[in-house]
């Protein structure tokens, strides 16, 4: 019987009355099922590092911009970090750091440079001011 990765432990969705909250297929559904017998290459595993590191960046950056998150994002972030930790035990920290740096550089090229600088280097005052600016812009655009 197919099984999901051990990294998905505790990340199952919850029932809230008739609603399912926090279901992420790539973690606990068919997308998260292990593929027994398939051995990944080093090049493939480095792509996984890029993928999961980017998932974390997207979640953290969106939280920085909009100040909110959901249970699916929390589960995805937790799972991504667990996957990275698991991979690190096989390829070592040096390879992980190189791939993580590549993920950050690629992500940074896709987003607003000012927002990225404030996200990565900004003072608390700069961050608060930037977030107020975004809130005001969204209030004007989506009254």
> For residues 122, 83, 45 and 28, what is the CA-based torsion angle, rounded to 10 degrees?
-120
> Tens digit of pLDDT for each residue in 78-116?
999 999 999 999 999 999 999 999 999 999 999 999 999
What sign results for the dihedral spanned by CA atoms 26, 32, 38, 40?
Answer: positive
The C-alpha atoms of residue 108 and residue 90 are separated, in whole angstroms, by 27
In sequence order, which residues have a C-beta less than 8 Å from that of residue 57 and are 6 or more positions away?
Answer: 103, 104, 107
Instruction: Return the pLDDT at 1.
Output: 55
- pLDDT for the residue 143: 81
> Can you list the residues of the chain whose pLDDT is less than 70?
1-2
pTM: 0.90
Is 33 in contact with 2 (CB distance < 8 Å)?
A: yes
Three-point CA angle 83, 27, 57, nearest 5°: 55
Alpha helices, H only, the chain? 25-28, 42-66, 71-91, 93-110, 113-121, 124-141
State the residue for tokens 């005001």.
136
Nearest to 33 by CA among 21, 23, 25: 25
């Amino acid at each position: 019987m197919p099984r999901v990765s051990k990294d998905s432990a505790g990340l199952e969705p919850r029932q809230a009355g008739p609603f399912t909250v926090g279901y992420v297929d790539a973690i606990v559904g068919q997308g998260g099922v292990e593929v027994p017998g398939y051995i990944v290459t080093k090049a493939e595993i480095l792509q996984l590092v890029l993928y999961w590191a980017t998932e974390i960046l997207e979640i953290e950056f969106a939280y920085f911009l909009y100040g909110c998150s959901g249970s699916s994002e929390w589960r995805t972030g937790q799972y991504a970090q667990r996957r990275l930790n698991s991979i690190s035990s096989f390829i070592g920290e040096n390879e992980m750091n190189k791939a993580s740096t590549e993920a950050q550089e690629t992500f940074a090229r896709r987003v607003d440079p000012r927002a990225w600088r404030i996200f990565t280097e900004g003072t608390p005052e700069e961050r608060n001011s930037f977030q107020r600016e975004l809130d005001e812009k969204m209030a004007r655009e989506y009254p």
